[in-house]
Structure formats: structure tokens, C-alpha cells
Amino acid sequence: MRIPTSAALAALGGALVLGLTVAPAAQAAPASADCTTDAFGIAGRYGEFVLGDDVHSPDAEGAVAVGGNADFKGGFSVGNELTAAQVDALPGRASLVVRGDLLNGGSATVVMKGNAVVGGEVKDRAVELHNGTFAKKADLIDFDGEFAKLRSYSEALAEESATSGATASLDGNRLTLTGTDTGRNVFSVEASQLEKAKEVFVKVPAGATTIVNVTGQTYDMQTAGTTGFFLSGGQDFVLDDKTQSAEDGAVRAKLLWNFPNATKVVKNSQAAWPGSVLAPYAHLELGNAAPVNGSVWVASLHGSGGAETHHFPFTGCLPEVPGTPQPGTTPSGTPSTTPPATATPSPSATPSGTATPSATPSGTTTPGAAVPSPSPSQPEGDLATTGSGNMVPITVGGAVVVAAGAGLVVMARRRKRA
């Protein structure tokens, strides 16, 4: 059968068109490889995730995990705002985990939803559970391993460059952070600059993740007497509180304050603090009034009165950082860089009558007794990788199509001469 030259060229053209049509489909971009909504793994499921001692009252709306001793002698309730799905996602469905002793005094520690797991002694009064069970177990969570990952991740986040268009301006005692990126905005602010702000304004596109990297060894919100945080998702600024927030809470849900080097962070009792706080080397002093509207991941904690942690889990999309242990998995060995040990900062103001947590029970290691300083070596920041891997087979396939088409043309001409 003869194949006319015109038919061969038509076939070749059709094949090339097909090849060009397939190329975009083959390169259809998957979800960004440098973005995860589960950056904090197990720690991210807890509203308070503390390596050492947690001295707190009267309650935490989310789940609480304590790697040292828990001193709840002023009365404490846990987990009232958790959903059923959030309880199911917790290790052992435990909304209260204490690796050391649980000190109740004469007050009640009440677990509203989920189970309670304590490794040491429960002193003075048993835990009250509404719909869960109690177990004695010291190794439900590997606090040392989880904090090794948190510290590495915090240091890596600090290496992220400020986003293009992200500005931090201090006008008198008003600090304004403005970002324009619809995906992720990264700011770098010195603690000394943040301490000058009596009011803090954060304006980013609704739905964008916001990272505020705060440099410095200490941050004291009481220095300027900060009274409010105002958020905007593109519209008017809204003073953040439990019952009101910009974009119905969407801005604060994706707001992260990262303190990679701090050993002490103090919140002013007059200001509700929106967003989650990652300060894995620091003692967090919550004061005695006004909450954190988000999660806290810290080395130790003290708070009383209205200084609660409200259940507004972090939902931002954070970068996958090369060289950082992946959250949710335990490293196979000791981290390559072990930070030198320094003494745990003591609470700046312990209320009268509040006893210091007792010594760790025999056989239990309380990491809160020593808080290492940040490692001097910093992992490199993240970078989204865009490649052309799919173009290689497409290019080779195109060459094959061209060669085959040329062959058909030559054959057609030879047969025509014959």
C-alpha cells in the first residue's frame, strides 16, 4: 500500500502536536514539595507541649503534654475544646500526658475529653476523667526526640530569608508587620525591636501563612507593656481575642512566632497573644491574665489566672527544610549536633503559695532540669525545587517521532519513483 507524502507529513504533524499536547500534562505540578501542614508532628497536636516542668492553672482548652513534672495545684482542666477527631489523633488518645509527677494539692485536675497518662506519682488527689481512662506510663511520648526535632526545625526556620515585600516598621510604640505574599510571609524582627511595641499590627493576605522569626536571647513583652495585637487579612485591623479575630480566626491560625535562640519569653498579662509560639529552648512566663490564642512549644512554662492557652491549633503550611529530621518520626540516633547544657530559667514571678514542682521521681529523667543552648550550626533554609525531569522522556520521544516521520517520507518518495 502506498503512503502519499502528504499523508506521511500529516501523520508526523499529528504526532508532534500530540507530543506537545502531552508535555504540559506530564509536567502538571503536584502539591508543593516544600510545604507541609504537619510540620510539628506529635507536638502539633498539643496546645501545650513542654519539655520540662509545667506550672499552670486554671486550664488549657487543648491537649497538654509535659516532659517533666506538672504542678496543677491551683486547679486545672484539660481538653474541653478538642473535637472527637483531634482526640483520636493523640498518642493513646491522651489529652493529658505527664512524664514525671502530677502535683494536684487539694485541687482537681480534670480531663474533659480523652485519656490521662502519667509516668510518675499522682499526688494528693486523683485525676478526674469525664469520658476517658487513666494509665501509668512514662514513655508514651519521646519528649527528648520530639524536642530535638523542634529545635532543629526552629533553627532552620530562622534561616529563611524575609519574603520579598515583607516589611517591619516601628513608628513610635506601634510595630506594623506587612506582607503581600498570598502563600507565605516571613519576617525577621529583633527581640529588642519587638519589646518597644505597645501595639503590634500584622497585615497579610487572608489564607497566607505568616512566620515571625524573633532574634535574641530573651523577649519581655512587659518592657513596653504591650496591650494588644491587631490582625488584618486585607481588610480592617481587628484586636485579637478569643471571641473576635481577623477573617474569623484564619490569620492567627496560620501565624507562628519563632524564637530559635531565646531562653526566656515573657508575655504581658494585658495582651492576648494570637498565633502559636515556638520557643523550644525557652521558659515561657505567661503571667496571670490574658491568654495565648494558639499553641505553645516550650522548654518550661508558668502561668496562672487568665493566662490560659486557648485551643486554636496552628494550620499554616510551613517549608520542608532540607536536612531537618521529619516531624512525627524518631531519629535513629543522637542528633549530630548536641547543644551544650545550661540551667533552666526559673519563672520570673511565681505566685505566692505556689510550690515549686518536686524532684523528679526515681528512675525518671526530667529533661527540664537542663535546657541546652541553641546549636551554633544552622541548617540551611528551604527552597522549593523546580525541575525539568519530565522533559527528558518528552524530548527523547519527540526525537523518535521526528525520525519515524522522516522515514515515512523517504519511503513514500521511493515508492512513488518506483
Q: Are residues 278 and 409 in the same domain?
A: no
Summarize the confidence of residues 5-14 as an average pLDDT: 38
* Closest C-alpha among 54, 79, 81, 52 to residue 68: 52
Q: Is the pLDDT of residue 10 over 50?
A: no
**Cα–Cα distances in Å, from 66 out to 60, 101, 266, 408?**
13, 10, 19, 74
| Rounded Cα gap, residues 347 and 287, in angstroms | 9
More confident residue, 335 or 276: 276
Q: Are residues 347 and 399 in the same domain?
A: no
Residue 381 lies in a domain: no
Lowest mean pLDDT among 85-99, 172-186, 330-344, 365-379: 330-344
Residue 304 lies in a domain: yes
Q: Are residues 222 and 320 in the same domain?
A: yes
pLDDT at 321: 62
pLDDT at 13: 40
Residue 384 lies in a domain: no
More confident residue, 27 or 274: 274
* Closest C-alpha among 158, 252, 262 to residue 200: 252
Q: Is the pLDDT of residue 32 over 90?
A: no
In this structure, which amino acid lies at residue 224? Answer: A
pLDDT at 340: 36
pLDDT at 115: 98
pLDDT in tens, 334-382: 333 333 333 344 443 333 333 333 333 333 333 333 444 454 433 333 3
Q: Are residues 25 and 39 in the same domain?
A: no
Q: Are residues 252 and 287 in the same domain?
A: yes
Q: Are residues 118 and 152 in the same domain?
A: yes
Q: Are residues 78 and 207 in the same domain?
A: yes
Q: Are residues 118 and 9 in the same domain?
A: no
Summarize the confidence of residues 42-61 as an average pLDDT: 98
Q: Are residues 159 and 213 in the same domain?
A: yes
What's the mean pLDDT when you consider all of the chain? 78
Environment class of 246 (CB within 10 Å of its CB; exposed 0-12, middle 13-18, buried 19+): buried
| Beta strand pairing call for 276-287 and 102-103 | unpaired
HSE toward the beta carbon, residue 1, CA cutoff 13 A: 4
| Rounded Cα gap, residues 99 and 133, in angstroms | 17
Q: Do 180 and 165 form a contact (C-beta atoms < 8 A)?
A: yes
What is the grid cell recorded at 397?
520521544
User: Over pLDDT 70: what percentage of the chain?
Assistant: 68
Residue 380 lies in a domain: no
Q: Is the pLDDT of residue 183 over 50?
A: yes
Q: Is the pLDDT of residue 404 over 70?
A: no
How many domains are there within the chain?
Answer: 2
User: Over pLDDT 90: what percentage of the chain?
Assistant: 67
pLDDT in tens, 285-332: 999 999 999 999 999 999 999 999 999 999 999 987 644 444 444 333
Q: Which residue has the cell 518520626?
A: 329
Q: Is the pLDDT of residue 255 over 90?
A: yes
Residue 382 lies in a domain: no
pLDDT at 34: 67
Q: Are residues 258 and 400 in the same domain?
A: no
Q: Are residues 332 and 405 in the same domain?
A: no
pLDDT at 72: 98
Q: Is the pLDDT of residue 386 over 70?
A: no
Full residue range of the structural domain in which residue 325 is found:
35-372
Residue 388 lies in a domain: no
pLDDT at 37: 87
Q: Are residues 292 and 182 in the same domain?
A: yes
pLDDT at 283: 98
Tally of CB atoms within 10 A around 340: 10
pLDDT band at 27 (very low <50, low <70, confident <90, very high): very low
